[in-house]
Structure 1
Amino acid sequence: MSAIGAALGLSLLSALGYAGAAVIQERIARTGRTAVRVLVSPIGMVTTCLNGFGALLHVVALKFGPLSLLQPMGVLTLVVAVPLGASLARRRVSARERLGVLWTMIGLAGLLLVVAQPVLVRSLNVEQVLLVSVATVLVLGILLHGPDRGGLRRAAASGIAFGVASAFTQTAAEHLGGPLSTAFLLPAALVVPLMISGLVLAQSAYTGGLGAPLAVQNLVNPAAAAIIGLFLLGEHFRGGPLGLSVGMIAAAGAARGVVLLTRRAAHDVPDDLQGDLPEDLPEDLPAAAGRAEVCLRA
């Protein structure tokens, strides 16, 4: 098996672990418990183990493949989580969701064709680590300041934290086994707070539902990692400008798939609840409600 094949296989298994954790996180987030309280509970420990399993496989995968390819594989988390969540909600996977899976897989296949192995460097230097760290803190501060409708700001912040953590993980992995130096210790030390921040932010973002926050996280995460990979790690697209164009189109296709998956997941209603509504509701229900309100006030 080639290095890229091994990396893709590990990324798929990693996505399965992340998907299981995301579905559990979303279910327990609806109980109203705080993110920190959830993470220290027994079920929270399960999600932490699943996330840890996904993270460990992702770390190993980064030894074999480029960050700008492996990080977009994270959208498979949503591809797996949506039907898994549908199963728990006792409903069928909709045609929109199936179309979303198709678009996502086509987009990932397109990225696989054009993303090449890095030819210059595979790790950040100390100055770049510090630069990325400062930029990350500033961006997270901006995202977390102000109202957060639907948890989307927290989901975006979580995606950035995970994406940067992956870049730092790859940098630390490149120096693993060598002498202890700042080039290894600094990124390795920063991975821990970034991962914890990503977990807490993701958990709090799922309070309003799984679909939209998970989709935002899965779009922002690879985008942050791709920026680092393409501009700082020497990664590139095959075929020059043409390859770049194909890569952008493929990324847009994957994004469309994620959006399609999100629209249904964001409005999940268990089938057993849908049956509670009578089928013969009057068409002028809003008007009738208004008249009733007038009568009650009188």
Structure 2
Amino acid sequence: MNQSALLAILLSLASAAGYALAAVAQSRLAGQGGSGVGQLLARPLWWWAVGLNAAGALMHVAALHYGPLTLVQPLGALTLVAALPLSAYYERRRVTRREWRGAAWTLGGLTGLIAVTGPASPGDALSLSEALAITAATALLLAFLVRTGTHRAHGGRLGLATASGVASAVASALTQTVTASLATELPSGPLSWWQTTLLTVLVATFAVGGLLLSQASYRGGLAAPLAVVNLANPAAASVIGVALLGESFHGGPLGWLTAAAAAGVAARGVIMLTAAAPTAEHPPTTSQPMPMPMPATLPLPTDLPSPEPAVHIPA
């Protein structure tokens, strides 16, 4: 193994750890209640989560500089594996076997989806018209998912997690376009200053929106929504890559069958993680003693004889 591949692996593992710590911090905030933007901005833990997500993203980009997508992307999926024990530690419980099995199924399906997608050449990026079209289509999809998520209890959280993954994938695609324009690697040449500024604002909007959507999805449990975020992100990125960036599925019809089978495997993992949510079947244990019940007040008997009157003896 050469030094570049080793450095890509180390950066990918560090990126997964950063994303996992950020997800656990967001889950703790969700458990404390109060998910409004103003309330989150007033909490230091939220800013820790933002910083960890930013650090994870930077290390992921650096890993892609030193290693291929087929190596970096599967290692990035280890975020779920790292987040499970970290979340269980803060909840003072153990990771259940069902959670580990669900994580394994999810990672297997995600790896299969990534394996059949080929990366585009480094210079490929979206044009301005394509970026605006994706922005409009994504905004409609996110509005539908958010509206559905607010009217449903458990399934709604997974819808919000899907929206988070899609928003993050679009932010990544737009970021690639901005960086390619700044490096004058776009076929049509660099974008003008206002076009670059517009795309930068869209990147920030989708990135922050994805972060807030994931925050909302973690209310009630971390594992299943985090698994859906990790699935929706590369799936949406693959759709954009295949449709617009010159990426392709390997193996022709067999590749599509592999992708369908991998999606089924990942879906089974998400279902297992949903059923193993600690809030439903495995509530976190605490070291506080159980309160002792107060004894009930006994009724006084009514059939006792009346006391004899006291006899006064004169002195």
Contact map agreement 1:123 1:233 (CA 8 A) in 2? yes
One-letter code of the match for 1:12? L
Contact map agreement 2:70 2:115 (CA 8 A) in 1? no
Question: Is the deviation greater in 141-150 or in 109-118?
Answer: 109-118
Are residues 1:229 and 2:241 paired?
Answer: yes
Gaps of 5+ in 2: 292-315
Tell me by how many angstroms 1:131 deviates.
0.5
Tell me by how many angstroms 1:23 deviates.
0.7
Distance 1:82 1:170 in 2: 31
Are residues 1:208 and 2:216 paired?
Answer: no
Tell me by how many angstroms 1:207 deviates.
2.5
Output aligned runs, 1:149-228, within 5 Å. Answer: 149-150=153-154, 151-178=157-184, 181-182=191-192, 184-228=196-240
Contact map agreement 1:212 1:266 (CA 8 A) in 2? no
Contact map agreement 2:70 2:114 (CA 8 A) in 1? no
The 3-state SS of whatever aligns with 2:283 is coil
Q: Percent identity?
A: 45
Larger Rg over CA atoms: 2
Tell me by how many angstroms 1:203 deviates.
1.5
Are residues 1:44 and 2:58 paired?
Answer: no
User: CA 1:229/1:8 → structure 2, altered by over 3 Å: closer, same or farther?
Assistant: farther
Distance 2:3 2:124 in 1: 18
Tell me by how many angstroms 1:235 deviates.
1.1
Contact map agreement 1:219 1:255 (CA 8 A) in 2? no
Tell me by how many angstroms 1:126 deviates.
0.9
Tell me by how many angstroms 1:130 deviates.
0.6
Aligned to 2:34: 33
Output aligned runs, 1:277-288, within 5 Å. Answer: none
One-letter code of the match for 1:152? L
Contact map agreement 1:66 1:235 (CA 8 A) in 2? no
Tell me by how many angstroms 1:132 deviates.
0.2
User: CA 1:2/1:225 → structure 2, altered by over 3 Å: closer, same or farther?
Assistant: farther
Contact map agreement 1:107 1:250 (CA 8 A) in 2? yes
Root-mean-square deviation (CA, aligned residues, Å) is: 3.3
One-letter code of the match for 2:200? A
Number of positions where the alignment pairs a residue of Structure 1 with one of Structure 2: 278
Aligned to 1:20: 21
Aligned to 2:253: 241
Distance 1:221 1:102 in 2: 18
**Taking structure 2 as the reference length, what is the TM-score of the superposition?**
0.74
The 3-state SS of whatever aligns with 1:265 is coil
Tell me by how many angstroms 1:148 deviates.
3.8
Tell me by how many angstroms 1:64 deviates.
6.0
Gaps of 5+ in 1: 278-298
Distance 2:177 2:9 in 1: 19
One-letter code of the match for 1:56? L
Q: Which has more helix, going by share of residues?
A: 1
Query: Which one of the candidate residues 73, 86, 104 is aligned to 2:106?
Result: 104
Tell me by how many angstroms 1:125 deviates.
0.9
One-letter code of the match for 1:51? N
User: CA 1:201/1:193 → structure 2, altered by over 3 Å: closer, same or farther?
Assistant: same
User: CA 1:32/1:105 → structure 2, altered by over 3 Å: closer, same or farther?
Assistant: closer
User: CA 1:122/1:111 → structure 2, altered by over 3 Å: closer, same or farther?
Assistant: same
Greater relative contact order, per chain length (Cα 8 Å cut-off, separation 6+): 1
The 3-state SS of whatever aligns with 2:183 is coil
Output aligned runs, 1:139-158, within 5 Å. Answer: 139-145=141-147, 147-150=151-154, 151-158=157-164
Tell me by how many angstroms 1:191 deviates.
0.9
Tell me by how many angstroms 1:168 deviates.
1.3
**Taking structure 1 as the reference length, what is the TM-score of the superposition?**
0.78
